Structure 1
Amino acid sequence: MPDIAIVGAGVSGLHLALRLQQAGVSTTVYAERAPEEVAAGRPLSLPVRFGHTVRRERELGVAHWDQPENHTLGVRLVAPGDPDIHFLGRLDEPASGVDLRLYLPRLTADYLERGGRLEVLAPDAAEIDRVSGDHDLVVVASGRAARTGLFPRDPERSPYAGPQRILTAGLLHGIAPVEPGHIHFQVSEAGEIFSTRILTADGPVHGMVVEALPGGPLEQLASYDHLGDPAGFAKTLLGLVGEYAPQLRERVTDSEFGIVRPGDVIQGGLTPTVRRGWTTLPSGRPALALGDAWVLNDPLTGQGANLGSRCAFELAGLIVAGGPFDTAFAERASELLWRIAEPVVAWSNLNIGPPPEHLGGIFVAATGDQRVADAFVTNFNHPADMWEAVRSPEATGAWLERVTAAA
């Protein structure tokens, strides 16, 4: 059996390590920070893991949060206009939102309890090259490592040169839960606001993500000093929610609304990027990219952790099938993984570009037909099917015909 180095202890790195561990493959995870540092640190992101990812967690024996009270059962989309768009679509499988500061240390503990090895490593090119000599293959699943230039940007697969949204995300008290539990997704001329239940070490709270169009009124949140003036930040956020997401505002108790812990806010913009899927290290050994080291999508479609998990399972299967783990293997694996990632990237990029008329047509149809609402929302769990449904006006028309003709 081979010996694999996995640089990065996020969702994709840990899912790969746990999957290989199940197959008896020797692995070492090289993490940027120790698990206790992750648990005590700032929030990393606010992912929702859709049903297929939760199912993979069951296969890995790490579905620690798979209880009804932690389930997200649908997506409510609201977009005022003429006509008004408003529908609640149901997922085909429950999703789940768990703070990564709770999720990642627990999965790391599972990996270590089963005999895995963990080392803390600065994920720069020199260190990655150094550890590569001790393993048959290096897989880099650290977003920080990508920023070192180890995996160059792939211009043919990266249409954007800068952020298309300016992001502010936070963990908040004072938003009433809903039944059935669902993601509230508000679309406006200023950008998008979505909110859902997130389980944290302090219990369930609400995660809110504001995706501001650059130069618009929502962008001010991304530069607000939330540490120096948390009350002012909460007041400004609440005012903007009232203006641009009034239905979500109705669920807020003003006296309780605020940031859960100091620093529980993420601010900034990211440029959607696909990097080269593999590289040759200075030593001449190949290294594969996975997760944020390879594909960075805008979080608008909620696919980051889900794509990372899916590709981790696929890559684990390729590794278990055997080497040699040379440049030919790296090139072949990279292209196979791109077949999975390509529709996710295309769908994500479609959503952050100019609003396509045929996508609006789906929203109008879903407002008046529960079958369409359910089929559209279910496709968050089936991103390749989602892309087939929205890739062109003709594809959307055919998809709507199929959905509405079904019993």
Structure 2
Amino acid sequence: MRKILVVGAGQSGLQIALGLQSQGYEVTLMSNRTADEIRTGRVMSTQCMFHTALQHERDLQLNFWESQAPKIEGLGVSVAAPGSWAEGPAARAIDWLGRLDGYAQSIDQRVKMAGWMETFAQRGGQLVIHGAAVGDLDYFSRTYDLVLVAAGKGELVQMFARDPERSPYSEPQRALAVSYVHGLGPRPEHPDTEGVRCNLVPGVGELFVMPCLTTSGRADILFWEGIPGGPLDVFNGVKDPAEHLSLTLELMERYVPWEYARATKVELTDAGGTLAGRYAPTVRNPIGRLPGGGLVLGVADVVVANDPITGQGSNSASKCAAAYLSSIVERGDKPFDEEWMRATFDRYWATAQHVTKWTNAMLAPPPEHILNLIGAAGELQPVADRFANGFNDPADFENFFYDPEKTQAYLVEVSGAGAA
């Protein structure tokens, strides 16, 4: 029986640990917090997961909360008319809703990670509550067949060198501020459709609104992404959750009043329901070398950390876990050597590269052909639907998004089909 150590109990680490456990591997999971500490702690992310990522969980029968969580059937885009907020609340220039082929869901990681961790322990997995340092891994690498590092923050990440060719940004491109709330009203245009709402405020930032399941039941997430140094970059140093929510709503009233109109009665889900921070999107070398010569393999956002503007973090973590799981099982009893580690990462990068390219493109001011595409989606439902489903399969953006000629050809084709 092969012995594998997974360091980090997030989406990817737990999914791999539970998946390997179900295949008969001897798995040790290291977490710096207990399940109870996670459940009662602060929110960790916004985690909207689309069909493919959810299916990886279903394949492992880990979709424990699927029947309770809101089923997100649409993804909407609204764009504020540039400069319209100078004299008062902003006005909308674009507003549409694309339909998802398979529904999405957002389950608070405090609920999911705590539940999965308890399941891992109940099924006989060895759970070690300990914050791992490089020295610990040096020791463990000699006693395990494979060490996977799935803890995306702290000193362990420093073992994985930044890949400058795949990391165009060296500084954070957005200041992030999250609030989990109860009491948000429906969008009047589509009162019966649960949807993620992407509100773009040119030159200022973005507000994402998404239904979720949290520790206290159904809720919604209000998530600002502000351009650093701009009017949304005001959450740094705000420690009081009530002040954090108050700032969130003030900014909504000015820049996205159509969303503010349904948020006048919201309250935080709990004292841990806010989060703020920023980080530079970075792709890293997937193999870490330990002082004693051992090798460890980086997982998910340890090696590919994208800005959350495209909502891909948990999706990528699930896809990474699925790819790594297959590679480990297919390896049989052969050694998990450096060549295997690189091939395993490359298998994940085949999908992750599309996420990174798309996310980095969305962080930059949009070129004219992208504005035309987003505008056309308001008139042509197939365009709105295709854009929405790109969140599930970002590889499709290669076919109609980046290249102005491909975009134009696609719009002509859809318009022609509509006319016919």
Structure 1 counterpart of 2:169 = 160
- Structure 2 CA distance, aligned partners of 1:133 and 1:112? 24
Give the percent of matched residue pairs that are identical in Structure 1 and Structure 2: 34
- Structure 2 CA distance, aligned partners of 1:140 and 1:402? 46
* Range 88-97 or range 171-180, more displaced: 171-180
- 2:196 maps to 1:196: no
TM-score by length of 2: 0.90
| 8 Å contact from structure 2 (residues 151, 157) kept in 1 | no
Q: Which amino acid aligns with 1:214?
A: P
Structure 2 counterpart of 1:384 = 395
Q: Residues 173 and 332 from structure 1, CA distance in 2 versus in 1: closer, same or farther, beyond 3 angstroms? A: same
Q: Which amino acid aligns with 2:71?
A: H
Structure 2 counterpart of 1:220 = 234
- Structure 1 CA distance, aligned partners of 2:124 and 2:30? 15
- 2:121 maps to 1:112: yes
Q: Which amino acid aligns with 1:336?
A: R
Q: Residues 394 and 126 from structure 1, CA distance in 2 versus in 1: closer, same or farther, beyond 3 angstroms? A: farther
Structure 1 counterpart of 2:368 = 357
Q: Residues 354 and 117 from structure 1, CA distance in 2 versus in 1: closer, same or farther, beyond 3 angstroms? A: same
Q: How does 1:75-224 map to 2 (within 5 A)?
A: 75-81=75-81, 84-145=93-154, 148-177=157-186, 178-189=191-202, 190-224=204-238
Q: Which amino acid aligns with 1:153?
A: R
Structure 1 counterpart of 2:14 = 14
SS at structure 2 position matched to 1:367: coil
Offset at residue 110 of structure 1 (A):
2.3
Offset at residue 371 of structure 1 (A):
1.0
Structure 2 counterpart of 1:271 = 280
- Structure 2 CA distance, aligned partners of 1:139 and 1:166? 30
SS at structure 1 position matched to 2:131: coil
Residues 289-319 of structure 1 show CA distances to partners (whole Å, capped at 9, x for unaligned) of: 1122111111010001101111111111111
| 8 Å contact from structure 2 (residues 177, 274) kept in 1 | yes
Q: Residues 226 and 403 from structure 1, CA distance in 2 versus in 1: closer, same or farther, beyond 3 angstroms? A: farther
| 8 Å contact from structure 1 (residues 5, 27) kept in 2 | yes
TM-score by length of 1: 0.93
Q: Residues 4 and 84 from structure 1, CA distance in 2 versus in 1: closer, same or farther, beyond 3 angstroms? A: same
Residues 123-153 of structure 1 show CA distances to partners (whole Å, capped at 9, x for unaligned) of: 3211122222221011111112566511111
* Range 233-242 or range 102-111, more displaced: 233-242
SS at structure 2 position matched to 1:359: helix
- Structure 1 CA distance, aligned partners of 2:399 and 2:130? 41
SS at structure 2 position matched to 1:390: coil
| 8 Å contact from structure 1 (residues 182, 196) kept in 2 | yes
- Structure 2 CA distance, aligned partners of 1:179 and 1:222? 36
- Structure 1 CA distance, aligned partners of 2:236 and 2:416? 45
Gaps of 5+ in 1: none
SS at structure 1 position matched to 2:81: coil
The one of 312, 331, 336 equivalent to 2:321 is: 312
- Structure 1 CA distance, aligned partners of 2:247 and 2:18? 42
Aligned length: 402
Q: Residues 315 and 398 from structure 1, CA distance in 2 versus in 1: closer, same or farther, beyond 3 angstroms? A: farther
Q: Residues 319 and 145 from structure 1, CA distance in 2 versus in 1: closer, same or farther, beyond 3 angstroms? A: farther
- 2:307 maps to 1:298: yes
- Structure 2 CA distance, aligned partners of 1:387 and 1:27? 38
Residues 230-255 of structure 1 show CA distances to partners (whole Å, capped at 9, x for unaligned) of: 2x4433322210111111111123xx
| 8 Å contact from structure 2 (residues 108, 213) kept in 1 | yes
* Range 14-23 or range 79-88, more displaced: 79-88
Q: Which amino acid aligns with 2:99?
A: R
Structure 1 runs, 4 residues or longer, greater than 4 Å off: 145-148, 401-407
The one of 407, 411, 416 equivalent to 1:396 is: 407
Offset at residue 357 of structure 1 (A):
2.0
Q: Residues 136 and 399 from structure 1, CA distance in 2 versus in 1: closer, same or farther, beyond 3 angstroms? A: farther
Offset at residue 387 of structure 1 (A):
4.1
Residues 182-238 of structure 1 show CA distances to partners (whole Å, capped at 9, x for unaligned) of: 0111111311001111211111111111001112111113443424xx2x4433322
Q: How does 1:30-49 map to 2 (within 5 A)?
A: 30-49=30-49
Offset at residue 369 of structure 1 (A):
0.7
- Structure 2 CA distance, aligned partners of 1:108 and 1:405? 52
Structure 2 counterpart of 1:63 = 63
Q: Residues 69 and 33 from structure 1, CA distance in 2 versus in 1: closer, same or farther, beyond 3 angstroms? A: closer
Offset at residue 389 of structure 1 (A):
3.0
